[in-house]
Structure 1
Amino acid sequence: MRIPRLALMAGALASVLFAGTAPAAAVSAPAYKPVLAKNPIYKTGELGLETCEEPKVLTGSAEEVKGYMDVVLDCLNTAWEPKIKKAGFAFSKPSFQVVTKVGAATGCGKYPWGALAVYCSINKKISLLVQPALVEEQADMLLLVTVAHEYGHHIQQLTGMLKAQTRYNGKNEAKVLDEMRRLELQAECLSGAFIGDVWHSLGRRQTEFDYIVKGGGSGGGLGALGI
């Protein structure tokens, strides 16, 4: 799931405030399941698509955003399908829907407040909420980054990583939150790998690249672009 950058900034600030000034205790690195730490997808090499003609989104209407997602998801499918198969997993395309209000059905409950987009692992569907933040500042590439991020969760589903996530049992909150954080960061990394692969075909300016690498548009930066 991807949340607006304002919420990300608020969350980061809260973590600083609650951290206080006490020194961190030395802890050993936690052990993770092999499907998470040593997944075959990690050794499949660079993506080889290189070209994706990103459509223009000018009005931000549901129909326009749907057309945009059609094209970008086709690029993502083309880029990731050979890597998923090379890693030994079955590939399937995600479905998607564009919704216009919070509370719409997603397959995993109702669309939550505060989310730009969500991925449901039950029906392998990406749901994206049409809202001004997605198109109000074209230079921050928020729409492209958001779609690629949710596709990152689809990759996690196809490769068994989402299924391996620890379930909350009332006593393991710290572990569950740690894995959730890592899965979200990984989805952002997978998003960056795709954007970096097709960057030179997008027709974007160098200033736009500099903007997202510095974190101005995505809330967390895309240093993983790898160009």
Structure 2
Amino acid sequence: MVRRARPAPDLDPWAEPRGFLQRMGLGVSLSLGTGLAAVGFTGFLAISAMLPGAEPAWGDPVGTDPTELMSADAEGRPVDHPDARIDDPLGQNPLYATGELGEVTCSPPTLDQEDPRSVEVFVHAIADCLDTAWAAYFDEAGLPFSSPNRIYWHDEGHSPCGPFPSGGTAAFYCQANQGLYLGVKDIVAASASSEEPEAYTFLLSHEYGHHVQGQSRMLAEFHALRANADDETADELTRRNELQANCLGGVFVGSAEESLGYQERERENILDDVVRRSDHAGTGTHGSTENGRLWTAHGLDRMDPAACNTWEAREELVR
């Protein structure tokens, strides 16, 4: 359930592999994972290079406010102005003009990370809440929206973006069928069997952030730009994409944290988890630990997609 706050300044059928669960529809639609690939217990590995059409996974310089570093349009209006055009779906998206996500009410069941069924029920409940929150937001923005497909796997399978698990992937988003893919047991292993539900809530919220990008045409523009870019530019575009998903995930969690019972400790757990999933080995696709933390915290605090415009941020904030 969503209570809107103040208004403000863009398949082929495939076989279901053995042991894999699929539902369709709002709360019946399956979707989980968008761009994260887990490596061992420590982090996620980008998989966009391996799976065409798949999105890869996901501090805060003192005194830096990312929204102060975004450019104005040709007529001098800030990019979050209501009159901003969709000519630039990355920098001037209508989502930036709609205001805060609004209070989100979620009541997921208790999580037992050692019970795959409990994990599955928990993430379905969070996904239902994400569906409701973002559908209402897109409606207010005057944009079409459809919930993603949730595909939760227990054994090996195949998606339009390739086989899973692949390269240690625990979760990923496949734009080809708007599918959020999640390994029910794999995400627990990738999170060091964490008992903290906020770790799984944010992982899913990040992945859902890629679906938000897709529904608002950001992903299509991102893929078009990256297809014609050199390696260095492609990596920067990927970082901007992933850091925005961090921020959008933070927007949802910040809007729902009261009903979820999350306080400062849970926030720190989320930020610590983001740090573990940031670039540590020179991969250059998910952002530094400092910037991963910065954009996530910004989303948690602002609860407004306009605060997540990584595409107009200065380069040092998306390294």
Shift, 1:83, TM fit? 1.7
- 1:1-227 correspondence runs (5 A): 1-4=35-38, 6-7=42-43, 34-101=88-155, 104-111=157-164, 112-129=166-183, 130-131=185-186, 132-134=189-191, 136-139=193-196, 141-165=198-222, 166-169=225-228, 172-212=230-270, 215-219=271-275, 220-221=292-293, 222-224=296-298, 225-226=300-301
Counterpart-to-counterpart distance in 1, 2:44 and 2:153 = 22
Change (3 A) 1:56 1:133: farther
Counterpart-to-counterpart distance in 2, 1:82 and 1:140 = 25
Q: Are the counterparts in 2 of residues 119 and 126 from structure 1 also a CA contact under 8 Å?
A: yes
Q: Are the counterparts in 1 of residues 112 and 119 from structure 2 also a CA contact under 8 Å?
A: no
Q: Are the counterparts in 2 of residues 107 and 122 from structure 1 also a CA contact under 8 Å?
A: yes
Letter paired with 1:155: V
Shift, 1:209, TM fit? 2.3
Shift, 1:8, TM fit? 6.1
Aligned residues: 202
Aligned to 2:80: none
TM-score under structure 2 length normalisation: 0.57
Counterpart-to-counterpart distance in 2, 1:158 and 1:164 = 11
CA RMSD of superposed structures (Å): 2.6
Moved over 4 A (4+): none
Larger proportion of helix:
1
Shift, 1:43, TM fit? 1.3
Letter paired with 1:151: Y
* Partner SS state of residue 111, structure 2: coil
Counterpart-to-counterpart distance in 2, 1:203 and 1:100 = 30
Letter paired with 2:212: I
- Percent of aligned pairs sharing the same letter: 31
- Cα distance per residue 1:156-176 (max 9 Å; x no partner): 11000111122435x622222
- Cα distance per residue 1:169-212 (max 9 Å; x no partner): 5x622222211111111011000000000101112353222333
Counterpart-to-counterpart distance in 1, 2:130 and 2:111 = 18
* Partner SS state of residue 96, structure 1: strand
Counterpart-to-counterpart distance in 2, 1:168 and 1:52 = 38
Counterpart-to-counterpart distance in 1, 2:231 and 2:212 = 25
Change (3 A) 1:217 1:140: farther
Counterpart-to-counterpart distance in 2, 1:80 and 1:36 = 18
